[in-house]
């Protein structure tokens, strides 16, 4: 089966799972920075959980941005607006997803106060889009796995990122609280777990068998 496809959708699902615990349930405006595969799967996942009515999209490549607006508007039936500056996608949003290139020494775009009170962010690109002051302003930062976060931080990433207070397992199991007030700024910084792909693959196989889809390959 297509592991690239599974990874793309699993990553979007991880954002939506984190948002279930860290975002306001009434979140209705999304901001997408970087209009590639992850910009698509993350928005699709969020649209299944939240009453989205408007999306602001930004990409350095205007052609990619315009294509995203056309395709995702038709696919999700949402009003999606392309913007000229990153802040125009972040400032009005309840849910913000950044999925640009992952860089060890980034030149961050999002500054302090861009993410408004009560909003949720998902940094799919590690901390590449988020400045130190913006990260320091977060009331809660969660990740998908503490040990992996510590390991990656030890290799030189996350130089200005505070340590997460919880991982996804702790949030789902109730061992750590999610959002505690409507005014909190929250952020998910999921690094991606191959274990999640392995967990998703059997379900893909089960559904394929039920629907009589797929082709047996000689190996």
CATH number of the structural domain spanning residue 112: 3.40.50.720
**Does residue 213 form part of some domain?**
no
Per-residue pLDDT of the chain (219 residues; tens, 9 = 90+): 788 889 999 999 999 999 999 999 999 999 999 999 999 999 999 999 999 999 999 999 999 999 999 999 999 999 999 999 999 999 999 999 999 999 988 999 999 999 999 999 999 999 999 999 999 999 999 999 999 999 999 999 999 999 999 999 999 999 999 999 999 999 999 999 888 888 889 999 999 999 999 888 888
| Any domain includes 210 | no
Residue 109 domain-assigned (yes or no): yes
Q: Is residue 219 part of a domain?
A: no
| pLDDT at site 110 | 97
In the DSSP assignment, the letter for residue 97 is: E
| Residue 209 is assigned to a structural domain of this protein | no
CA atoms within 13 A on the CB side of 84: 0
State both tokens at 58: 């930004």
In a domain, 105, yes or no: yes
- 3-state SS, 106-122, equals CCCCECCCCCCCCCEEE
Q: In the β-sheet with 79-82, what is the strand arrangement from edge to edge?
A: 79-82, 54-58, 29-33, 95-98, 120-123, 186-188, 140-143, 166-167
Say how many domains are in the chain.
Answer: 1
Domain presence at residue 176: yes
pTM higher than 0.85: yes
- What's the CA gap between 184 and 82, in Å, rounded? 27
Burial of 86 by CB count in 10 Å (0-12 exposed, 13-18 middle, 19+ buried)?
Answer: buried
Is residue 206 included in any domain, yes or no?
A: no
Which residue range forms the structural domain that includes residue 18?
Answer: 3-193
In 3D space, the residue among 72, 77, 83 whose CA is nearest the CA of residue 41 turns out to be: 72
């Amino acid at each position: 089966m297509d592991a690239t496809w599974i990874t793309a959708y699993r990553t979007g699902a991880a954002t939506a799972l984190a948002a279930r615990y860290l975002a306001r349930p009434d979140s209705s405006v999304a901001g997408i920075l970087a209009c590639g595969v992850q910009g698509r799967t993350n928005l699709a996942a969020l649209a299944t959980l939240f009453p989205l009515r408007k999306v602001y999209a930004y990409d350095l490549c205007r052609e990619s941005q315009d294509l995203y607006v056309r395709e995702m508007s038709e696919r999700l039936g949402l009003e999606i607006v392309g913007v000229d500056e990153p802040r125009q996608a972040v400032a009005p949003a309840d849910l913000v997803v950044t999925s640009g290139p992952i860089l060890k020494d980034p030149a961050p775009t999002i500054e302090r106060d861009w993410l408004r009170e009560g909003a949720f962010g998902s940094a799919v690109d590690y901390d590449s889009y988020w400045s130190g002051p913006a990260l320091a302003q977060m009331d809660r930062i969660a990740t998908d796995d503490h040990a992996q976060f510590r390991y990656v931080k030890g290799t030189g990433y996350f130089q200005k990122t505070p340590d997460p207070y919880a991982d996804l397992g702790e949030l789902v199991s109730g061992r750590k609280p999610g959002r505690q007030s409507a005014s909190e700024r929250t952020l998910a910084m999921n690094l991606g777990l191959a274990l999640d792909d392995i967990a998703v693959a059997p379900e893909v196989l089960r559904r394929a068998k039920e629907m009589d889809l797929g082709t047996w390959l000689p190996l």
